[in-house]
Amino acid sequence: MQTPSEDIICIGSVLWDIIGRSPRDMIAGNDVPGRIHRIPGGVAMNIAMTLARFGLRPVLLSALGRDAAGDELLRAAQQMGLVCDHIHLSARPTDSYMAIEGANGLIAAIADAHSLEEAGSAILTPLLDGTLGDADHPFQGAIALDGNLTEALLSEIAQSAAFAQADLRIAPASPGKAARLRRVIGHKGATLYINLEEARLISAKPALNTAKAGAMALLDAGARRVVVTNGAELACDACADACFEAGPARVTPTRITGAGDTFMAAHIAAERQGKSRDAAIVFAQDIAAKYVAGDENYV
């Protein structure tokens, strides 16, 4: 029932990213030259892809459509060494995400995750029916959880005996969905990975101005452990009895989408390698900086 020690379960969005990037600063309404890429993406997928680079064997729990886009994405995931045996197949079209990025950062994005949302608890079946675990024999390893899930499903996870012993690593997916994490903030095994804007939204404290302040606010709100990033400024890993900070290397950004997911995966991998908490956050910051700088060999 329990998966091998190198496995980590990644629950959430697996979709196609369509990313338009321009080397110019942009504002709403601009029409500029650049490049458009279609690549595997989604929070759970991004985390899984990076974990695989570290030699781990991620298990995907998600939803894909029974369509050409889903078939192509499934093949791409398998070729990267991701375990796709438990993905829920849906009659809905495979999900997608579209973003516009300029030299000054993310300009706009739209996430179409309706297949994932409609699949609901069906994607969790392997953790409930004894395949990977169940209420009597809960999964005891690491789970990377994506805030693209509905609030109802996040609440179910927080309260389910099948998840009670998991090392639950949680990402909000986007600031627009950050408030959903209030549903799982009290899980005894949870570590939240959020940026400062998301910390403000979850804590309802808009004046927070550092990652450390954001982390403290979330601890006050009942979180067990929080890792908060703040762009090119210090990130903070905090729990009730310890706090560690580290700044990223200064780089010229060439891509934005997936940076937070890459940071989270690198941090998880560092701790799986036995790195101390202060070393793990430094390591994750360095990996994320290389990713943002466009280094294809960031791991």
Q: Is the pLDDT of residue 175 over 90?
A: no
Predicted confidence at residue 3, as pLDDT, reads 47
Predicted confidence at residue 2, as pLDDT, reads 45
Report the Cα 229 to chain-centroid distance in Å.
Answer: 13
Q: Is the pLDDT of residue 5 over 90?
A: no
Q: Quick one: pLDDT band at residue 1, thresholds 50, 70, 90?
A: very low
Q: Summarize the confidence of residues 19-39 as an average pLDDT.
A: 95
Q: Where are the domains of the chain?
A: 11-292
Q: Summarize the confidence of residues 39-54 as an average pLDDT.
A: 97
Counting residues of the chain whose pLDDT is more than 90, the rounded percentage is 88
Q: Summarize the confidence of residues 184-190 as an average pLDDT.
A: 92
Q: Put the strands of the sheet holding 7-11 in their side by side order.
A: 57-61, 7-11, 142-146, 167-171, 190-195, 225-230, 233-239, 242-246
Q: Summarize the confidence of residues 127-138 as an average pLDDT.
A: 95
Q: Summarize the confidence of residues 235-255 as an average pLDDT.
A: 93
Predicted confidence at residue 173, as pLDDT, reads 82
Strands (E), the chain: 7-11, 15-21, 35-41, 57-61, 63-65, 88-90, 96-102, 105-112, 142-146, 167-171, 190-195, 225-230, 233-239, 242-246
pTM of the model: 0.94
Q: Summarize the confidence of residues 93-105 as an average pLDDT.
A: 95
CA atoms within 13 A on the CB side of 288: 32
Q: What is the mean pLDDT of the chain?
A: 94
- Residue in the block written with tokens 């979709």: 15
Q: Summarize the confidence of residues 58-77 as an average pLDDT.
A: 97
Q: Is the pLDDT of residue 240 over 50?
A: yes
Q: If DSSP codes are grouped into helix, strand and coil, which group holds residue 292?
A: helix
Q: Is the pLDDT of residue 25 over 50?
A: yes
Task: Give residue-wise pLDDT tens across range 7-17.
Answer: 899 999 999 99
Q: Summarize the confidence of residues 276-297 as an average pLDDT.
A: 96
Beta-strand relationship, 88-90 and 63-65: parallel
Counting residues of the chain whose pLDDT is more than 70, the rounded percentage is 98
Q: If DSSP codes are grouped into helix, strand and coil, which group holds residue 142?
A: strand
DSSP symbol at 248: P
Predicted confidence at residue 116, as pLDDT, reads 93
Question: 11-292: which CATH number, 3.40.1190.20, 3.30.70.520, 3.40.50.12240, 3.10.450.50?
Answer: 3.40.1190.20
Predicted confidence at residue 177, as pLDDT, reads 87
Highest mean pLDDT: which range of 18-22, 115-119, 148-152: 18-22
Q: Summarize the confidence of residues 109-128 as an average pLDDT.
A: 93
Q: Is the pLDDT of residue 256 over 60?
A: yes
Q: Quick one: pLDDT band at residue 6, thresholds 50, 70, 90?
A: low
